[in-house]
Amino acid sequence: MTWLIPPLIFFYGAFLCLFVGRTQRTFITLLAPVIALVSLLMLPMGNMAQVQFLGFELIFIRLDKLAFVFSLIFIIAAFLAAIYAWHVNDKIQQVSTLLYAGAALGGVLAGDLISLFLYWEITAVASVFLIWARRTPAAYATGMRYLLIQVGSGVLLLAGLLVHYNDTGSILFEHMGLVSTGTLLIFLAFGIKCAFPLMHNWLQDAYPAATVTGTVVLSSFTTKMAVYALARGYAGEEILIYIGAVMTLFPIFFAEIENDLRKVLAYSLNNQLGFMVVGVGIGTELALNGTAAHAFCHILYKSLLFMSVGAVLYRTGTSKASELGGLYKTMPITMVCCLVGAASISAFPLFSGFISKSLILDASAKNGYYLVWFALVVASAGVLSHSGIKIPYFTFFAHDSGKRPAEAPMHMRIAMIITASLCVIIGVFPSLLYQLLPYDVAYKPYTTSHVLAQMQLLCFALLAFVFLMIKGIHPPEVRGINLDSDWVYRKILPTTLSAWAASAMSVANTWRIGLQTQASEWIIGIRRLSSPGGLLAKGWGVNSMVFVVTLLLLLVLFLNLF
């Protein structure tokens, strides 16, 4: 039944939320993911919900194992976010969350590029309200920048779609590769939403600016939908290996010096996306399994970290590391959940990150990308430093801020405990996740070599952090603004354009004054010609008039002939 496909269930919920009260809206946000999950599990593999539109056959449901694993984690994430946001009494946030989750789910299930484009744009428009819901001038400005970039991605996708259709006559969303202008435009559209290097700043700009619950929702969908799109359309493109490697490395520096812990997590998110992009670029069955598994696990542990920092922000009013510390005394459950998220993102054995990251590392080594493998190992150590240690240490232990907030509200604790439990269960029983992956590849993460190598890496990273802290070399947590590449379009370009505009206005004013002066002189000259005694005021003789008429007739004849 087309009207009961999973994305539409979220859309129905969003529509109902427009007309009911707070209690009903809360239950709808919880119930919609449950019904969507039942609907997803009842769907057979293959193409469904096919609709004829303007001569095109749109495929709103294309379900295979790759789409299934992303759809499943999207629905789980929506459910956990609904529990976490139980206290929210904001129709805008609740409606936009349902629309956003439904559109992201629809993008994963879309079987053609037109359907993908529709869902692509809905995610952009719906998600921006999670930023604007903070209702501050800064949030409005951030939301406008975010919307401009997200809609720009959609414009590139539409342009690429049109060029690709003109070249091939097909709108199917399948493996395309970088073979034409159209596929390059689509690739760039995916890259923007995946936060490729130099296209990434919207993520660090927007996510920390959203509401406490909005950031949790934002961290789950947009970038992972882009990862899925790359895996579907560009698996095996070697350039993605090197793009992904750069993505894993460059955020480490920014995350280390950043004071806002939600922005630290945003940089860390960029780092983790790099691992997935490398997996897509390698393109083997093992690597694509690693990408899908890492996306699944990443949504869980990144949501958990944003939840824990969000709970601290909710109770204390700040997420600045320089203003926090000592919170383990009054927020022990939040602290434990944060530690579970930190262990997961750092890929400690028995936690979810270990069983997913190992797939990508092994795929890079087995396919001869040894420098990339080394980059991923270095990036793994960096993740431990800025997310595995820095987030819990400076939030709960580093120094006593004097704050004694109450523990997170019950519903937030429930959401965090469920998410933390999933991180541990997947880490202890990896086969639960592996059997959902796109390809049947026999893989055992818990071998002696894997565990020893990872523990050595983690121990050395821990020792390095301790050494840096003892010697006072580690970047201090101080209030400040860190410059990233967005400085170019937020500061340099506006300043340059303002200078150019001022120069252009000055030139235009000079020309205007000159033209006005010249026009005034012409008007005075014409008035003199027509004034008494002027040339035009004199009577003309018959000979002169005949001569003028003859000239006009010759001009008309010339124009007619040529």
**Which residues, given as ranges, of the chain have pLDDT below 50?**
none
Of 190, 16, 229, give the one whose Cα is nearest residue 106: 229
Secondary structure in 3-state letters for 340-367: HHHHHHCCCCCCHHHHHHHHHHHHHHHC
The residue with tokens 């009054």 is 330
Q: Which pLDDT belongs to residue 95?
A: 95
Question: Cα–Cα distance between 481 and 458 in angstroms, integer?
Answer: 30
- Count of CB atoms situated within 10 Å of the CB of 466: 12
CA–CA gap between residue 86 and residue 77 (Å, rounded): 14
Q: Which long-range contacts (CB under 8 A, 24 or more apart) does 328-334 make?
A: 328/396, 328/397, 329/404, 330/404, 330/405, 330/406, 330/407, 331/396, 331/405, 331/406, 331/407, 331/408, 332/407, 333/407, 333/408, 333/413, 333/416, 333/417, 334/308, 334/407, 334/408, 334/412, 334/413, 334/416
Residue 474: predicted pLDDT: 63
What is the reported pLDDT for 476? 63
Among 296, 310, 211, residue whose Cα is nearest residue 265: 310
Pairing of strands 56-63, 46-53: antiparallel
pLDDT digits (tens, 9 = 90+) for 153-162: 999 999 999 9
Residue-level pLDDT at 520: 80
CA distances from 106 to 31, 99, 225 (A): 18, 10, 10
- C-alpha to C-alpha distance for 337 and 420, rounded to whole angstroms: 6
| pLDDT 10s digits, 164-190 | 999 998 999 999 989 999 999 999 999
- Counting Cβ atoms within 10 Å, is residue 523 exposed (0-12), middle (13-18) or buried (19+)? exposed
Helix runs in 85-136, H state only: 91-109, 113-132
Instruction: Measure CA 225 to chain center.
Output: 9
Report the distance separating Cα 126 and Cα 105, nearest Å. 13
Residue matched to tokens 């000592």: 326
Question: What CA–CA distance (Å, rounded) separates 249 from 271?
Answer: 7
What are the φ/ψ torsions at residue 443 (nearest 5 degrees)? -145, 135
Domain boundaries, the chain: 1-229, 235-498
Helix (H) or strand (E) holding 47: strand 46-53
Q: Which two tokens stand for residue 158?
A: 């539409």
Predicted confidence at residue 218, as pLDDT, reads 93
Contact 221, 123 (CB under 8 A): yes
Q: What is the pLDDT of residues 324-358, one digit of tens each?
A: 888 988 999 999 999 999 999 998 999 999 999 99
What's the token pair of residue 133? 């819901």
Q: Which residues contact 552 (CB under 8 A, 6 or more apart)?
A: none
Which has the closest alpha carbon to 208: 270, 252, 150, 299?
A: 270
> Per residue in 352-361, is it b (16+ CB within 10 Å) or e — as a string?
bbbbbbbbbb
pLDDT at res. 2? 67
Region of 528 please: left (phi>0), alpha (psi -120 to 50) or beta.
alpha
Helices (DSSP H) in 258-284: which residue ranges?
A: 261-282
